[in-house]
């Protein structure tokens, strides 16, 4: 019922290295498991479940620090729905922000690619790159984010 797994078995079960498990224990993400008489770690069902939770939430994009924070609340039994919701909502907002940034970047990059395309289709394919010149042009024109000293 309460099967005990050794480090290597747990690692294999989750596709981790044993070193990663030691690491998680070292940083306090998982509690030190039970030991065999000879000192081998023995992970019980609760340990395995907790590790599963960690990996699941990690895959959702939370950092190990954030996960540790949630688990600390959980261990302290003060893990209210409100707290969880706050964390999740904050994370969703962060994701939205990140997505916005990347899309902005993407939309800045895409026209340069097209510019290359039209240039390639209308002249010799080994010449100067107009897209690059656009970029360097911008640089020479108003290069720096903060250009305080222009003599």
Partner DNA sequence: CTTGACCTTGTACCAAGGTACAGGGTGTAG
Partner DNA sequence: CTACACCCTGTACCTTGGTACAAGGTCAAG
- The closest alpha carbon to 24, from 16, 34, 36, belongs to 16
First to last CA, the chain: 78
- Tell me how far, at minimum, the Cβ of 69 lies from its own copies, in Å: 13
Cβ atoms 46, 8 nearer than 8 A: no
> Any bridge partners for residue 41, and if so which?
35
**In which residue are the tokens 């907790």 written?**
50
- Please report whether residue 94 would count as binding DNA according to CB under 7 A: no
Lookup: tokens for 90: 């904050």
Among 28, 32, 40, 60, which residue sits at the site for its own copies (rule: CB under 8 A)? 60
Among 23-31, 36-44, 101-109, the segment contacting its own copies (CB under 8 A): 101-109
Among 1, 38, 76, 146, which residue sits at the site for its own copies (rule: CB under 8 A)? 146
Cβ atoms 122, 103 nearer than 8 A: no
- The closest alpha carbon to 53, from 34, 31, 36, 86, belongs to 31
| Contacting DNA within 109-128 (CB under 7 A) | none
Among 19, 80, 90, 142, which residue sits at the site for DNA (rule: CB under 7 A)? 19
- Please report whether residue 82 would count as binding its own copies according to CB under 8 A: yes
| Contacting DNA within 64-93 (CB under 7 A) | 64-65
Among 4, 6, 14, 23, which residue sits at the site for its own copies (rule: CB under 8 A)? 14
């Amino acid at each position: 019922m309460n099967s005990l797994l050794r480090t290597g078995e747990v690692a294999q079960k989750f596709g981790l290295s044993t070193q990663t498990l030691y690491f998680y224990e070292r940083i306090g993400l998982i509690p030190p498991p039970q030991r065999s008489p000879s000192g081998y770690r023995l992970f019980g069902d609760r340990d395995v479940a907790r590790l599963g939770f960690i990996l699941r939430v990690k895959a959702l994009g939370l950092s190990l620090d954030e996960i540790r924070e949630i688990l600390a609340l959980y261990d302290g039994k003060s893990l209210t729905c409100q707290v969880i919701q706050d964390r999740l909502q904050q994370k969703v907002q962060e994701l939205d922000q990140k997505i916005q940034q990347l899309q902005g970047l993407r939309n800045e990059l895409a026209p340069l690619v097209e510019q290359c395309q039209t240039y390639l289709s209308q002249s010799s394919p080994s010449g100067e790159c107009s897209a690059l010149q656009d970029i360097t042009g911008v640089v020479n024109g108003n290069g720096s984010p903060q250009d305080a000293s222009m003599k």
